[in-house]
A and B are shown apart, each in its own frame.
Chain A
């Protein structure tokens, strides 16, 4: 077990987006979260690194770090929490004034204060891994969406996090560019990265995940192996959702 979360809840004003969620994230495993828009899946992901601060919930990590969001959480604790995970955004959010290479080196150099030569080597290795070593001196606006997203993945990996979070990593991409990003993520799964992926790509979720979690209305409706949840779901709401996605017309 890498992280165990108990009774996580989050509201935006009167709108309760997450209602009493329990999740366990296993080390070296891939957890995919699926569900209709507004189901709370992105909010759940963003709570994992406190981009949205939970209203309540207890996070217990394998190294003993425990955060109880009903109590006051210090800035140091939030920083510790964030150090544990890297995040890949739907809209990439690369730094437009920095090259692909500089996007990747920014965190290790400025935040972790690692040595320049070491970081250079790391960045080149990671950009090679995502297939962009020859484009490392280009600025984000000179790259396609798929390439930008792969830089985004390299940037997150550069911090050497224990957990990788993906927030609909292919939703903003043209269909023909989705494959290159999914291939990179599959490669990470093979390397046994611990990952949580919010996605609409059900086939991909089926291939890459160890566990799939279906959310609706702020609750976890169903969870289990991809086979179980995607192929033979027990809950009516899961069945409806899958039906709508598989037969949109």
Chain B
């Protein structure tokens, strides 16, 4: 009796009854999609940032082109190329993996710029101090520079993370049954667009609100990393 949703279902009842499918969509797809792509995206971003600050042209140039291409084209277009475009050349990828690929490429590009800027913001004296105790460039980066860069990049990366939560709603357009697609499906049956889309918006808001609390906690814990 709980999930009978039809055109006749009333406002409040519809709101309550739609909650479970939408939250299920969030738990099954929105949140995993966000977490997986964020982790993969950060790893990719680290790699790209390293390539960009390296002195080697062979590493530097592809990284610059990649970042420029991803940032210069709409995310929705990238999603469509991967999901609807690639099958044309015989490469068919399921909705969820398609979304993972597109969002990872996206996070990788934007976050690489954040990480690169954070690395460059660490004073030159830190590199020099590391060198004078005999560290190679890569050891200095790993032990001295990155831990400090992490603290600098937490606020902008949190922004990217929260944007990513909301961007995952675009995956509804390549048939991923995430939160917003659930809202769309119910709305298609009940025609109560306002109520259902506002409800979806509220759920996104709650998720993002919780995430910004987590961000504050992380920043406090990393505060000791900062020279005052």
**Interfacial residues, chain A to chain B (CB-CB below 8 A):** 49, 51, 75, 79, 82-83, 85-87, 89, 91, 93-97, 106-107, 110-112, 139-141, 155-156, 158-159
Contacts and interface: CB of A to CB of B under 8 A. Distances in A.
Contacts of B133: 86, 106-107, 111, 155-156, 158-159
B226 A96 contact: yes
9 contacts: A75-B136, A86-B132, A91-B125, A93-B125, A96-B227, A107-B134, A111-B133, A111-B135, A111-B139
Given A89-B125, A140-B227, A95 B135 contact: no
A97 B147 CA distance: 7
A82 B134 contact: yes
Nearest to B147: A97
A97 to B, nearest CB: 4
A89 B129 contact: yes
What is the interface residue range for chain B against chain A?
A: 20 to 34
A141 B227 contact: yes
B226 to A, nearest CB: 7
Given A91-B125, A106-B143, A110-B139, A97 B225 contact: yes
Interface of B: 123, 125-126, 128-136, 139, 143-144, 147-148, 151, 224-228
A51 B131 contact: yes
Nearest to A49: B132
A3 to B, nearest CB: 16
B224 A83 contact: no
A51 B129 contact: no
A155 B133 CA distance: 8
A112 B126 CA distance: 19
Contacts of A85: 132
Contacts of A91: 125
Given A75-B136, A93-B129, A139-B224, 15 more contacts: A85-B132, A87-B132, A89-B128, A93-B123, A94-B129, A96-B148, A97-B151, A97-B224, A107-B133, A107-B134, A107-B135, A111-B133, A111-B139, A140-B227, A159-B134
A78 to B, nearest CB: 9
* Most B Cβ at <10 Å: residue of A96, A111, A155, A159: A96
A79 B147 contact: no
Contacts of A106: 133, 143
Nearest to B142: A110
Contacts of B227: 96, 140-141
Q: Which 6 A-B pairs have the closest CB atoms?
A: A107-B133, A93-B129, A93-B125, A87-B132, A96-B227, A97-B225
B130 to A, nearest CB: 8
A111 B148 contact: no
